[in-house]
Amino acid sequence: MTRISAFAGAVALGLTTAVVAQAQDLRAINAFPESFVFSREIAQPFAELVAEESDGAVTISFTGPDAVPPLEQFEPTQAGVFDILFAHPAYHAGTTPVGLAIDAIAADPAARREAGVIDYIDAHYQETQGMKLIAAPLTGSVGFRYYLRDPIEGTPAFEGRNIRGTVSYHPMIEALGGAGVVMGGGDVYSALQTGAIDGAAWGLTGALDFNWHEVAGYMADPGFGQVGLMIFMNLDAWNGLSDEARAAIERAAERLEADSVARFDVLATEERAALLELGMQVTEFAPEEAAQLETLWSNGVWQVAEGSAPEAVAGLRTLAQSAGLSD
């Protein structure tokens, strides 16, 4: 072998070694089952976008709620057991409620970033929780509805009913005459089946995956609010990445957010049609309550968030209001 050939081989070997050294598989915990719509349409596309943006140097491997229950996933990610967490921030509201406040902020990904909303929440998590907010993908221009065993009859709509919902729903549920019950989405089917709950608040997509049409005969109109799912990363793990890897993840996050609203609006329309075909019926709030749903939702979310972190949430609310993104 000539001296030049040997040198070229060494360079090639060195480059290959460098690429391998930079390649990294990130461990992620997902609050939702692998087959669930949020996993199919957010978690997996995000992993694909990260791999694409990093030319394969960064990959993501997901573990689901069978390994760690959804409401218990935040602390292991803080501790570094996982690098990434994909969940709704209401699932760790007892640790910090700041993330869940995004559900009271308009469903406009670009405007949220331009106004500094994402940066504000990210700074809070970095400073107080050792976590970084990577992305806040939305599940459509309208977020939620109620799924009920029995139709709405008069007002208040939920008089005497137990309704599943994370803590951010509770002020709204109580204003409508009901009692809020906290439980993960995977537990709702059996609770509806046995009558332990009379209904469940959930997004416009996902009830079909859970087969709730088998145990809840009605979906309530109109829908309301917006769903602020979030992808977080352990801050030490984030800081341990190369500049190139971090930039690739940020590009993937913005791409994910950019197309999430339109994509989920289509999915919500398709799911509604499928549920109706399977026998679920529509029940409607009385006009006077229907007109209040958005205000009840927004004020309730801010109330819950401000209750345990008043200063941090007040700053976020002021920021969102000044940008015209919230009441």
Give the residue-averaged pLDDT of 60-87.
97
Amino acid at 210: F
pLDDT of residue 281: 98
Percent of the chain with pLDDT over 90: 90
Residue 2 has pLDDT above 90, yes or no: no
d(CA 281, CA 326): 32
Instruction: Flag the least confident range among 12-21, 141-150, 152-161, 228-237.
Output: 12-21
What global pTM score does this model have?
A: 0.87
Q: In 3D, which of 210, 183, 213, 218 has the Cα closest to residue 197?
A: 183
Instruction: Please determine, for residue 6, whether its predicted confidence score (pLDDT) is greater than 80.
Output: no
**pLDDT band at residue 22 using 50, 70 and 90 as cut-offs:** low
Place 166 in a pLDDT band, splitting at 50, 70 and 90.
confident
Q: Which residue has the higher pLDDT, 10 or 268?
A: 268
Whole-angstrom distance, CA of residue 229 vs CA of residue 244: 25
User: Does the pLDDT of residue 263 top 50, yes or no?
Assistant: yes
Task: Give the residue, 185 or 249, on which the prediction is more confident.
Answer: 249
264-300 pLDDT, tens per residue? 999 999 999 999 999 999 999 999 999 999 999 999 9
